[in-house]
Amino acid sequence: MSSPAIASAPLRPPGPRGLPWIGTSFMASRDSTRTLSRWARDYGDIVFYRFLDFPVYVLFHPQHVEQVLLGKTGNFVKGMTARANPELFGNGLLTSDGDFWRRQRRLSNPAFHRESIARYAEITVEEAAKLSQCWKAGETRNIHNDMMNVTLRIVLRSLFGTHLAEHMKIIEPALGAIMASSTGFNSIAFFLRIPTPKRKLHFLAVQRLNEVVYGLIARGREKLKSAESGLQTVGSQTGGGPQAATGAKDLLTLLLTARDDEGNSMSDQQLRDEVITLLLAGHETTALNLSWSWYLLAEHPEVERALHAELDAMLGGRAPSASDLPRLQYTDKVIRETLRLYPPAWRIFRRTEEVFQVGDYTLPAGSNIVLSQWVTQRDPRWFPEPDRFMPERWNEEAVAKLPRFAYFPFGGGPRVCIGAGFAMMEATLLLATIAQRFRLRLTPNQRITPMPSITLRPRHGIRVKLEERANTPVAADRANEAQASSA
348: left (phi over 0), alpha (psi -120 to 50) or beta: beta
The nearer residue to ligand HEM, 65 or 474, going by C-beta atoms, is 65
Q: Is 17 helix (H, G, I), strand (E, B) or coil?
A: coil
Mind giving me the DSSP string for 322-391? Answer: GGGGGG-HHHHHHHHHHHHHS-SS--EEEEESS-EEETTEEEPTT-EEEE-HHHHTT-TTTSSSTTS--G
- CA triplet 30, 35, 36: central angle to 5 degrees? 130
**CB of residue 342 to ligand HEM, shortest distance in Å:** 10
CA distance 174 to 181: 11
The nearer residue to ligand HEM, 46 or 154, going by C-beta atoms, is 154
**CB of residue 339 to ligand HEM, shortest distance in Å:** 6
How many CA atoms, within 13 angstroms, populate the side-chain half-sphere of residue 459? 11
Strands annotated E in 104-241: 140-142
**CB of residue 281 to ligand HEM, shortest distance in Å:** 4
**What's the farthest any 2 CA atoms get from each other in the chain?**
100
The nearer residue to ligand HEM, 220 or 282, going by C-beta atoms, is 282
The nearer residue to ligand HEM, 152 or 206, going by C-beta atoms, is 152
**CB of residue 471 to ligand HEM, shortest distance in Å:** 32
Q: Where are the alpha helices (DSSP H) in 17-79?
A: 32-43, 62-69
The nearer residue to ligand HEM, 48 or 410, going by C-beta atoms, is 410
**CB of residue 20 to ligand HEM, shortest distance in Å:** 32
**CB of residue 113 to ligand HEM, shortest distance in Å:** 13
Closest chain position to ligand HEM (CB): 419
**CB of residue 348 to ligand HEM, shortest distance in Å:** 5
Helix 420-437, helix 143-160: angle, nearest 10: 130
The nearer residue to ligand HEM, 246 or 286, going by C-beta atoms, is 286
Q: Which residues bind ligand HEM (CB under 6 A)?
A: 81, 93-94, 105, 155, 277-278, 281-282, 285-286, 289, 344-345, 348, 409-411, 415, 417-419, 422-423
Give yes or no for a contact between 410 and 420, defined as CB atoms under 8 angstroms apart.
Answer: yes
The nearer residue to ligand HEM, 98 or 230, going by C-beta atoms, is 98
